[in-house]
Amino acid sequence: MDFSVFVQLLLPGLTTGCVYALVALGFVLCANVSGVVNFAQGEYVMLGGVVAAFLVPHGVSLPVAIALAVVAGALLGALQERLTLAPARHSPDFIQITITLGVAVVLRGGALIAFGKDPLSMPGFSGDGIFEVAGAAVPVQSLWVWGATALMLAAMFWFLRYTDPGRAVRACSINLQAARLMGVNAERLTLAVFAVAGASGALAGAVIAPIVLANWDAGIAYGLKGFIGAIIGNFRAPGIAVAAGLGIGVLESFAAGYVSSGFKDAIVYGALLAYLLVKGGVFVFGRASLLSR
């Protein structure tokens, strides 16, 4: 195996993997605090990308465009929680989760109307140059993606470990009901977590836009791949979810490079199905299957 080809596939894989990792983290945080799997998670990445890519050619400076995209993500995340989940707080989980799907449809549809059908391109933050690592050419923008993701993850894990609300989030992930009984204000926490997940998704979308183009219907793919990460982390462990998100990016890139770029999605989704089939226990019967959950 040629090492430079390996690196040439690994590094872009890590770049898209960063986005999946942030989406996976958003899934885990929202699910832990609210008990709801937020199917709109991937749409915030899409939104961050199209908002930033739309503003830059309209004369908005780059940092401002990125900031506006992140603010839009946070605002819409908070709005989603206030307008659609808070009123349905006492509905069955099944209804609440289906509502998040409706929100995803609204966000997609809204982006289509506001920003049009065509994919938007955006210049790299420090030019569209490339640099070389071990014989592999990598866009400079990748550094921005890695840096932004690292910062975001560091901030989130610091928040989870060292702040009171962060500890409350972790308490919720262990036992939602007990955490509420211990005085965790789940309502405010849910609002905050949805806003943060919206903002981090939008940031991921904005930094990746110069590399992959921003498109109104990109949200499902980001959502599904992030979901795979969350599911590998069992919707409980943020660290595992993030690592799995990165891994999915790498797997996708290797599948495209070593097998066929047409089949890369089929390979990633096939891996998800295989994982679920094994986890569901194809060969596990009776009460032992209760343990495989």
Q: Which of 20, 39, 54, 222 binds another protein (CB under 8 A)?
A: 39
How does strand 130-133 pair with strand 136-139?
A: antiparallel
Q: Which of 62, 106, 213, 243 binds another protein (CB under 8 A)?
A: 106
Q: Which of 76, 78, 99, 136 binds another protein (CB under 8 A)?
A: 99
Q: Which of 61, 91, 121, 177 binds another protein (CB under 8 A)?
A: 91
- 66: Cβ–Cβ under 8 A, 6 or more apart, which residues? 52, 203, 206, 207
| Contact between 272 and another protein per CB under 8 A | yes
- Per-residue binding string, another protein, 115-154, x by CB under 8 A, is --x-------------------------------------
| Contact between 258 and another protein per CB under 8 A | no
Phi, psi (5° rounding) for residue 216?
-60, -30
- Per-residue binding string, another protein, 201-220, x by CB under 8 A, is ----------------x--x
| Contact between 287 and another protein per CB under 8 A | yes
d(CA 70, CA 76): 10
Closest distance to another protein from the beta carbon of 203 (Å): 24
Handedness of CA 234, 146, 273, 218 (dihedral sign): positive
Q: Do 119 and 213 form a contact (C-beta atoms < 8 A)?
A: yes
Closest distance to another protein from the beta carbon of 88 (Å): 5
Q: Which of 98, 121, 175, 185 binds another protein (CB under 8 A)?
A: 98
The interface with another protein within residues 148-207 (CB under 8 A) comprises: none
Q: Which of 7, 79, 88, 240 binds another protein (CB under 8 A)?
A: 88
Q: Which of 59, 63, 183, 262 binds another protein (CB under 8 A)?
A: 262
Q: Which is nearer to another protein, 167 or 279 (CB)?
A: 279
| Contact between 105 and another protein per CB under 8 A | yes
Q: Which is nearer to another protein, 101 or 150 (CB)?
A: 101
In SS3 terms, 219-240 reads as: HHHHHHHHHHHHHHCCCCCHHH
Instruction: Provide the CB-side half-sphere exposure for 78 (13 A, CA).
Output: 12
What tokens appear for 266 in the block? Answer: 């089929």
Q: Which is nearer to another protein, 213 or 267 (CB)?
A: 267
Chain residues binding another protein by CB under 8 A are 37, 39, 84, 87-88, 91-92, 94-95, 97-99, 101-110, 112-113, 117, 217, 220-221, 224, 227-228, 231, 235, 260, 262-263, 265-266, 269-270, 272-273, 276-277, 279-282, 284-293
